[in-house]
Amino acid sequence: MIKIILTEISSYEGVVCVHRLYGQCRIIRECIHEIEDRPPGEDIEIYEKRGGNKLKLMQDGRYIGAQLSHVQVYANAYDEDNTPLVILLNFKSEVTKRPAPKFFKYSQLTSLIRWNESKRMSEICHFNGNQVHLFRTIMNENSKLSSALTYQMDITIGEYNGNKICVTNETSSLPALEMSGFRKYKHEPVNAHGQTNSCVMVDRETPLSSGKNPIGEVQGKKYSHICSYYYSEFAEAILLEFNSSEGTFYYTQRKNEKTQGWAKLDKVMAKMLLNEEIETNQIHSTLVSDSHRKLLLLLRTLVVVHKNTVVLPIDRQSRYGKDDVADAIKSSGSEICPNPECLTSQPENVYVKRENCPDLERAGYACYRSTLRPEGQGEGGVLRLLVPSESCQYSEIKLLGEYSGLDQEPLQQKSSELGPLAYLRKDFNLYVFFYGRDPRPLFFCCNGTGYRPLSSLEYAEYWVKMPEMFECPISADSSEKLVSVLSEIIGSLTIVDLSFRPAGGAALASEMANSQARKRFSHVAQPISNAPTIRVTLSNNSSYRKYIHRFCDMDGRADGYRLGFVKYCSSANANVEYDITKQLVSVDAYYNLHDCELIFPLMLVFHFKDGPSEYYRLVSGDPTIKKWRKIKRGEVDQELLKKIKDDDDIEGALEDISHALKISFTKAQGQSFLFNLLCSGGDGVNWVVMGASVGGVGVGAILGAYAGYLIFKHYADTPPVVQN
């Protein structure tokens, strides 16, 4: 007679017991009862406990000549009673083909043992070797246990574990989390089951560390409830909250370069994810205080890490590393993450190389290729892109749907936000385009898709996808299209506003010139750090006003920069048409001396880096409509062009244009001119600094008068009188 005692895990009476965690799910223990050699055909007695009742199995049929080799007993590893769930009887035979194993569910076996039943072997179910069926049967039997609860944190609705645990969606109680795409589910024992020892499963397995070891700390405890937090884009929970009489603690999904697993949110982990020193026993109170603000920050950070996020400041033109990216993130004010060190996918270095693009370079543009090799196993992730901004060193940009042109209202395009770019390969290339010494990225391209700023005012906030495809690296066939696109982009970022005039009062300052002290009046604007700007030079003349618009750096250097569209009041209906692919370096705008409000730019001169200057005359006398025509050699404009090129007769050319348009000016009583006519003994240079800045955001101005020329504090209260 062979005796099998199901609850034993130590050897007994001719049986050697070996136990281990079940490979399919490590909350289950598999105990193998190995039988010493016995004569074939012996009956088998199965006991639940030593000295208790038994089930007697009698050999018949093919099993008469078979020997019982071993018995597999499956039980919940955290069940104090060690209740068997499923039993497999395995046989061997030296004379016949090995008989199939026999299969018992304990819920069926228990009554047979209680009543000391006897069964023939042929009456017991065969096991066909289906491991999926075995696992499901084990878990179904596990749900019937009264001595252990099993939390399955991937379940998000209803009751489970034999209706002993109820799941409720508590997302609506946390509106800030819900608006950010997070969900919270509460798993709570029903009735008195909260006093039962518990085990925890996540996705059909015990929570594992990043080293793939079971986390024993969360098992075998009595919980009042456990909560799981999900993000809308992920199938798995990213945060678990355990609540018991001992307090509340958390486990987070943790990623490093090669593995993923669960880790306890302790003081060290809180510093890594939240960049704060929080004692472990204070973490829960910190997370739920202030309307769960820190909890939301933690969840957002976990999403960033889980997405294998890589951050790229796209203005870089040489290799940069993790520390450079960390500094850029900290200066950006972005909510990417509180601590850049938690970005485990961020490569040690991003390699930047200038591409050889002769056609682009002739037009003043340059292309830089950024190559990144993300850390980890190369399963892909998302890119978060930073551009230089006005208010701080960097800002994160959001990407919008297809660009529909300058005439499209920006608000209409913002409804089509695309979300971050994805990188799919281990080596990823991003192509970024610049003009000359201008530090602003104008355009970038990856995987054949191009992106450009939505507008100059929102340069540091929104970029938009271009509808056409682009070939990168650049070929001779694609360079012409790119030059056109880049010229249109920089045109929209460095708009010449012909109506611009400095506003506000004056502040007295002193300056040294030619080793002599001079007095200077200047209008001072808030400085924009190291940003290139459009500077307007006022040339003092007793007969007319001449403004020279140039794009310069903060030191006044104009080489390596260019201007873009030329407009009046930044109006699309008052645009001076010219070939935008030409490198426009300065614009001279001429006004009547008495046009204090700068209503009529009578003549414009465009100066290009390569090629002759172009002249434009105003052809509309209507103050509400501005139109210009290019002055060309011919009978109509021949005399006018001659006067323009003769500096001594520019006043005559302006009078001809005014007369043709029937425009005249009269000085209203009490009106002050921009500069003192009595002191206008020659040309003076007066700088006006417009805050075009990086992205053209904001307008600041600095106005100064040199060499004794006085700039009056206020402009005319009444506009010029226009007689048509």
Q: pLDDT, tens digit, for every residue of 603-634?
A: 999 999 988 999 999 998 888 888 999 998 77
pLDDT, tens only, 240-281? 999 999 999 999 998 766 678 999 999 999 999 999 999 999
Measured distance CA(647)–CA(681) in Å, rounded: 16
Q: Of 110, 142, 174, which residue is a domain's last?
A: 142
Q: Any long-range contacts for 711-714 (C-beta under 8 Å, 24+ apart)?
A: 711/506, 711/521, 711/674, 711/675, 711/686, 712/672, 712/673, 712/674, 712/675, 712/676, 713/505, 713/506, 713/521, 714/505, 714/672
Q: Does 248 lie in the same domain as 121?
A: no
Angle at 277 between CA 271 and CA 283, to 5 degrees: 85
pLDDT, tens only, 78-113? 999 999 999 999 999 877 788 999 999 999 999 999
Beta strand 182-189 with 165-169: parallel, antiparallel or unpaired? Answer: antiparallel
Q: Does 514 lie in the same domain as 384?
A: no
Q: What is the mean pLDDT of the chain?
A: 83
In a domain, 724, yes or no: no
Domain with 459 in it: 311-490
In a domain, 627, yes or no: yes
Q: Does 626 lie in the same domain as 542?
A: yes
What pLDDT does 723 receive? 38
With cut-offs at 50, 70 and 90, classify the pLDDT of residue 477.
confident
Residue type (1 letter), 359 = D
User: Range with the lowest mean pLDDT among 286-290, 336-340, 569-573?
Assistant: 569-573
Q: Of 490, 521, 539, which residue is a domain's last?
A: 490
Q: Does 355 lie in the same domain as 275?
A: no
Q: What is the largest CA-CA distance in the chain?
A: 130
Q: Does 268 lie in the same domain as 386?
A: no
Q: Does 138 lie in the same domain as 162?
A: no
Q: Does 399 lie in the same domain as 447?
A: yes
Supply the pTM of this predicted model.
0.80
In a domain, 510, yes or no: yes
Q: Does 321 lie in the same domain as 256?
A: no
Q: pLDDT: is 488 or 625 the higher one? A: 488
Measured distance CA(674)–CA(716) in Å, rounded: 9
Q: Does 377 lie in the same domain as 241?
A: no
Q: Does 177 lie in the same domain as 67?
A: no
In a domain, 83, yes or no: yes
Q: Of 101, 117, 142, which residue is a domain's last?
A: 142
Q: Does 173 lie in the same domain as 35?
A: no
In a domain, 274, yes or no: yes
pLDDT, tens only, 526-557? 233 456 788 888 776 778 888 889 988 877 78
Q: Does 654 lie in the same domain as 508?
A: yes
Beta strand 2-5 with 44-47: parallel, antiparallel or unpaired? Answer: parallel
What is the percent of the chain with per-residue pLDDT over 70, rounded to a whole number? 83
Number of domains in the chain: 4
Write the CB contacts of 685 (distance below 8 Å, at least 6 apart in sequence): 537, 538, 539, 706
